[in-house]
A and B are shown apart, each in its own frame.
Chain A
Amino acid sequence: MIATPDNAVPAPGRWTHGTPPPNVLLHANALVTGELAFKRFHSTLERALVVGAHSTMDGVHFDLGEGGRVSIGDYCYFTNAVLLCELELRIGHYVMIGWNTVVTDTDFHPVAPAERIADAIACSPLGRGRPRPAVLRRPVVIEDNVWIGPNATLLKGVRVGGGAFIEPGAVVTRDVPSRARVMGNPAQIIGEAP
């Protein structure tokens, strides 16, 4: 963990709206705000969410399925991002994520039409207890020093290399090399991170 500049003992991490779920670890001086932060937090894993020291999670939604695991490094700053996780989101240090940006490690439903019908039934009020078809889940990795603008979307399985710059509104469907600058839907490389 990174020490505070003046070596003072930092305050413990906290959530402005109460005590977070027991399987959430907020390192020193991490701050989570917003009453909706854990409204859809369903992970039953032991360490489902770790937020690094001095990170600010302002209005972030931690929407984790039963087996979801999210780790966030130190000195990150997210505003109103929506993190949808059924498997794993691994986010490094000094990462910024802008307002209304979605990061997800799954599409939540199968592609094959017949499987999707089975899924619709299982999810419906008639589906009580019926198992849902398996859905593809692939971890998302965001390395250190990445900047992600507002209204962006990061889809399952992408790895965003260190120092990459994701322009506002970009829809990232493939890996982004370190220090690349990407824009568009689907996101394309438009140059080096400035």
Chain B
Amino acid sequence: MTPGRRIEGDWYAGSVPENVVLDATAYVETSFSFTLFRSRLPAGVRYGRGASTYLGTLFDVGPQGRVTLGECALVHGARIICDAEISIGDYALISWNVVLMDTYRVPFDAAQRRRELERVPAREPRVACADVPARPVRVGRNVWIGFEACVLPGVTLGEGAIVGARSVVASDVPPFTVVAGNPARVIRPLTDRERNRHAG
């Protein structure tokens, strides 16, 4: 990274915000990922050792939002909609067009939603950011999330869980469990054999 937090060779003429804390070994493909980043916390995003985010990743993070990426976490292209906290554990793998959201960003009540929509055009940038309750999302260590899956507010994915492509996860997933479907259901636990196999 060059001074001014520009990324060398970045196709997008932006920079990485000051309150994005990068480990020296982390990788950010493009500053485009921060075009909707509005966190005012001292560490709105924290990249761990060897963590990386690629092209399609977008941090749609509100003023009080906090995102953490663990060691060697690899986010290929997630839309991270965060007003409270989204934590991504060590070695987690997140595929393209995944949605991780800790908030619906709008009131559930239609009349209140209309009032929020009337405020949107006056904002710069124009975003919906109603003050509605957010529930943290926790993606455990070594979790693998397939492409275009959605993880809804309040969900915890246990260590080593696997989420099938295009699943919609609305409730917690136990550790070392495969889930898939919309809404996601448990397919099977990982076998002892799988859990005890060692790399190399």
Out of B99, B101, B118, name the residue touching A75 (CB < 8 Å).
B118
Q: Least Cβ distance of B157 to chain A in Å? A: 16
| Contact (Cβ within 8 A) B182 A193 | no
Residues of chain B contacted by A151 (CB below 8 angstroms): 97, 99, 148, 150, 166, 168
Selected from A56, A99, A169, A194, the residue in CB contact (under 8 A) with B166 is A169
Q: Are A168 and B106 in contact (CB under 8 A)?
A: no
| B101 A94 Cβ-Cβ under 8 A | no
Chain B residues contacting A29 (CB-CB under 8 Å) are: 121
The reply on A150 being an interface residue by CB < 8 A is: yes
Which residues of B88-138 are within 8 A (CB) of A? Answer: 97, 99, 101, 104, 106, 108-110, 113-114, 117-118, 120-121, 126, 128
Using an 8 Å CB-CB cutoff, how does the interface string of B50-91 with A read, 1 for contact, 0 for none?
Answer: 000000000000000000000000000001010000000000
B183 within 8 A of A: yes
The interface residues of chain A lying within 8 Å CB-to-CB of B170 are: 167, 183
Q: Which of B79, B109, B118, B152 contacts A167 (CB 8 A)?
A: B152
User: Chain A residues near B106 (CB, 8 Å)?
Assistant: 96, 147
Q: From DSSP, what is the main secondary structure of chain A's interface residues?
A: loop
A24 CB, nearest partner CB in chain B, Å: 19
Assess whether A193 is in contact with B97, with CB atoms less than 8 Å apart: no
Quick check: A168 and B120 within 8 Å, CB to CB? no
Residues of B within 8 A of A5 (CB): 118
- Asked whether any CB of chain B lies closer than 8 Å to the CB of A100, the reply is yes
Beyond known contacts A54-B118, A167-B152: 11 more, CB 8 A cutoff? A31-B126, A76-B117, A94-B113, A96-B117, A145-B113, A150-B101, A151-B148, A168-B150, A170-B168, A170-B182, A184-B168
Q: Name A's B-contacting residues (CB within 8 A).
A: 5, 29, 31, 54, 56, 58, 75-77, 94, 96, 99-100, 145, 147, 149-151, 163, 165, 167-171, 179, 183-185, 193-194
What 10 pairs between A and B have smallest CB-CB spacing? A194-B108, A169-B168, A185-B182, A168-B150, A169-B150, A145-B110, A54-B121, A75-B117, A56-B126, A163-B110
List 20 A-B residue pairs with CB atoms under 8 Å apart, sorted by A's residue number: A54-B120, A56-B120, A56-B126, A75-B118, A76-B117, A77-B117, A77-B128, A96-B113, A99-B79, A100-B79, A100-B97, A150-B81, A150-B150, A151-B150, A169-B167, A169-B182, A171-B182, A183-B168, A184-B182, A193-B110
